[in-house]
């Protein structure tokens, strides 16, 4: 079976040089390995994803010289798949609703920070400080009946107890040079959100399901997602999904050394193309042979 690679952008903005690096690296590795390249649109965030970005992304990738298999998978077209997996985790007793608003959570974190710094996840966001896990079935029912919005969170302690010790095969490197069999540390993320009242999935849940359903054998993506792999391995084990190999790559930075963002136009591929840059020039600029 040929190896399967994928590039999985979110159509919530234009691609920049960092995306070009990731997409071209995936394409180069797929070609060298005689493998397949898939494109997946991670468009579950209906508030930020737009069809015009989906079109612009494919235009930019084709201009770079990429070819991918059709049809492109769009996560928004597969919500029932994620819902079913969420139900499975729920049936295992690993999911609970948390009704606190973002503002309430921010207040709870501020109060805890005042008493000594409250722990942060690997992305720097405070761990969930609430106690919704301990709500009685009756209280949950009452809140739910009131129509209040909620997030469905993974009971991390219970999930880890069930899944046991995990690691993953790192073929690239982590931010600290991690390589080889990397121990997963999902506890560092706390009770992550798996879905919300109006969105039956999350990045973590849909990425592991899609990688498995699409037969992805090699996940090649930026180092900014290195630590998220701990959560992905946990969900793979809980849902009996195969673990792909991972290759996290360096991030392309701007002249000031900052990570690129979709909102800075200076490094957007469409702008560079309009300014006369060639695909070969892009490769050179991001250090790809």
Say how far apart CA 274 and CA 270 lie, in whole Å.
Answer: 6
β-strand partners of 41: 74
- Residue closer to ligand GLU, measured from CB, 221 or 227: 221
List 56, 160, 193, 207, residue binding ligand GLU (CB under 6 A) = 207
Stretch that binds ligand GLU, among 2-10, 103-111, 179-187, 254-262 (CB under 6 A): 2-10
Nearest approach in angstroms of CB 42 to ligand GLU is 4
Stretch that binds ligand GLU, among 8-16, 27-35, 54-62, 89-97 (CB under 6 A): 8-16
Footprint (CB under 6 A) of ligand GLU, residues 139-168: none
Say how far apart CA 279 and CA 289 lie, in whole Å.
Answer: 12
- Residue closer to ligand GLU, measured from CB, 237 or 248: 248
- Say whether residue 126 binds ligand GLU (CB under 6 A): no
Say how far apart CA 71 and CA 85 lie, in whole Å.
Answer: 23
User: What does DSSP say about strands 36-41 and 73-74: parallel, antiparallel, or unpaired?
Assistant: parallel
Contacts of 21 (CB under 8 A, 6+ apart): 249, 252, 286, 287, 288
- Say whether residue 26 binds ligand GLU (CB under 6 A): no
Say how far apart CA 165 and CA 223 lie, in whole Å.
Answer: 22
Cβ-contact 259, 253 below 8 angstroms: yes
Handedness of CA 237, 241, 242, 243 (dihedral sign): negative
Say how far apart CA 77 and CA 210 lie, in whole Å.
Answer: 12
Question: Scanning the structure block, which residue is given the tokens 């391995």?
Answer: 233
- Say whether residue 244 binds ligand GLU (CB under 6 A): no
- Say whether residue 247 binds ligand GLU (CB under 6 A): no
For the CA atoms of the chain, what is the radius of gyration? 20
List 3, 4, 9, 154, residue binding ligand GLU (CB under 6 A) = 9
Nearest approach in angstroms of CB 164 to ligand GLU is 24
Nearest approach in angstroms of CB 107 to ligand GLU is 29
Phi, psi of 229 (to 5 degrees): -60, -30
- Say whether residue 231 binds ligand GLU (CB under 6 A): no
- Say whether residue 10 binds ligand GLU (CB under 6 A): yes
List 218, 221, 237, 247, residue binding ligand GLU (CB under 6 A) = 221
List 4, 5, 8, 260, residue binding ligand GLU (CB under 6 A) = 8
Say how far apart CA 18 and CA 260 lie, in whole Å.
Answer: 7
- Say whether residue 170 binds ligand GLU (CB under 6 A): no
Number of chain residues interacting with ligand GLU (CB under 6 A): 7
β-strand partners of 182: 168
Footprint (CB under 6 A) of ligand GLU, residues 35-74: 42
Nearest approach in angstroms of CB 181 to ligand GLU is 20
| Interface contacts to ligand GLU, rule CB under 6 A | 8-10, 42, 207, 221, 225
């Amino acid at each position: 079976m040929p190896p399967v690679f994928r590039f999985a952008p979110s159509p919530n903005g234009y691609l920049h040089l960092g995306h070009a690096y990731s997409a071209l690296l995936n394409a180069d590795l797929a070609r060298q390995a005689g493998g397949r390249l898939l494109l997946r649109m991670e468009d579950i965030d209906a508030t930020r994803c737009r069809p015009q970005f989906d079109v612009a992304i494919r235009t930019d990738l084709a201009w770079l010289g990429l070819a991918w298999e059709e049809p492109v998978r769009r996560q928004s077209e597969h919500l029932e798949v994620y819902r079913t997996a969420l139900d499975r985790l729920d049936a295992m007793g690993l999911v609970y609703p948390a009704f606190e608003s973002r503002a309430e959570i921010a207040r709870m974190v501020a109060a805890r920070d005042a008493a000594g710094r409250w722990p942060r996840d690997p992305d720097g966001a405070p761990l969930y400080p609430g106690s919704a896990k301990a709500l009685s079935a009756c209280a949950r029912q009452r809140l739910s009946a009131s129509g209040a919005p909620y997030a469905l969170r993974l009971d991390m302690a219970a999930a880890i107890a069930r899944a046991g010790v995990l690691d993953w095969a790192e073929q690239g490197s982590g931010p600290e040079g991690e390589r080889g069999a990397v121990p997963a540390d999902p506890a560092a993320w706390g009770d992550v959100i798996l879905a919300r009242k109006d969105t039956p999935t999350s990045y973590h849940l849909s990425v592991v399901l899609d990688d498995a359903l699409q037969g992805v054998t090699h996940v090649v993506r930026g180092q900014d997602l290195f630590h998220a792999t701990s959560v992905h391995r946990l969900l793979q084990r809980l849902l009996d999904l195969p673990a792909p190999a991972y290759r996290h790559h360096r991030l392309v930075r701007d002249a000031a050394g900052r990570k690129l963002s979709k909102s800075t136009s200076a490094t957007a591929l469409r702008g560079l193309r309009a300014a006369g840059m060639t695909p070969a020039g892009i490769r050179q600029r991001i250090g790809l042979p």
